[in-house]
Structure 1
Amino acid sequence: MTEPTLVYDDDCGFCTWWAEFFGDRTEIRLVGFSDLPDHPDLQERLPEFYEECSHLVTEDTVYSCGQSLEEALRRYDEGGPVGNGLEFLRNFEDYEHVREWGYRQVANNRDKWGKVMSKTPPARRDTEES
């Protein structure tokens, strides 16, 4: 596998919105949880309870949960204010804890966030829409 791949919940409109945001603006390939059986090499690199959060899989590393979106944002804006801000924040000992806490707060309220940002998830699209 050479291209970074974001593995996400493709039955969640909010998750789909974010995944497609990165898919449209970066070189990150998207693979939904429902498509993982077609990618056994990718699935075996994921943690046992992979459905608990998103993952950005690169050739060398698997970034999970908040770290996966942080890395996707860094790749989206490498050298820009967001990318530079993330590099700065990584210097602080508590940043990882805050990042993961924030990820959990959003992930646990996806239904509410989905009212603001959402796309029809691939797992729910009609074949005519695809």
Structure 2
Amino acid sequence: MAPTLVYDDDCGFCTRAAEFVARHGSVEIVGFAELSPSLRDRLPPDYRECAHLVTEEAVYSCGESIERALAETALVPAALFGVFRALPGYPSLREWGYRRIAENRGTIGRLLP
């Protein structure tokens, strides 16, 4: 089973980001509106708060979901994320960055082609 990126399909920026990841890696994408009951049951109760990457072994949420999804692409060497994870404070920085982008996705979306 390929990892599945679950995202807010009401958000144009989120949809474009999910499609970008799917184009460049072995990641399936499913919008919130298309969740199957079995996939929905694997997500946290507040799943609409951020994106999630669902694998056979685990569910990764928010910034970690995007990090793990990018690691499934050929765009960024997966080993690089292992180096980042070893750095003190990296998880907090990753989540801070995810939140800043999420809070400004309308503006950021207009800046992207």
Q: Contact between 2:70 and 2:76, CA under 8 Å: does it hold in 1?
A: no
* More helix by percentage: 2
1:91 equivalent to 2:86? Answer yes
Matched, 1:31 2:30: yes
Task: Indicate whether 1:21 and 2:16 are aligned.
Answer: no
Q: What is the aligned partner in structure 2 of residue 127 from structure 1?
A: none
Moved over 3 A (4+): none
In structure 2, the partner of 1:107 is 102
After superposition, give the CA deviation of every residue in 1:30-77 in whole Å (9 maximum; x if it has no partner): 1000111xx100000000000000000000110100000000111113
TM-score between both structures, scaled by the size of structure 2: 0.93
Q: Structure 1's 6 and 81: CA in aligned 2 closer, same or farther, altered over 3 A?
A: closer
Tell me how large the CA RMSD over aligned residues is: 1.4
Q: Structure 1 residues 4, 112: CA separation in 2 closer, same or farther (over 3 Å shift)?
A: same
Contact kept? 1:6, 1:57, Cα under 8 Å: yes
* Matches for 1:1-130 after TM superposition, within 5 Å: 2-36=1-35, 39-77=36-74, 82-117=77-112
Deviation per CA, 1:82-119, whole angstroms, max 9, x where unpaired? 4332221110120000000000000011111110237x
Question: What TM-score do the two structures reach when normalised by structure 1?
Answer: 0.81
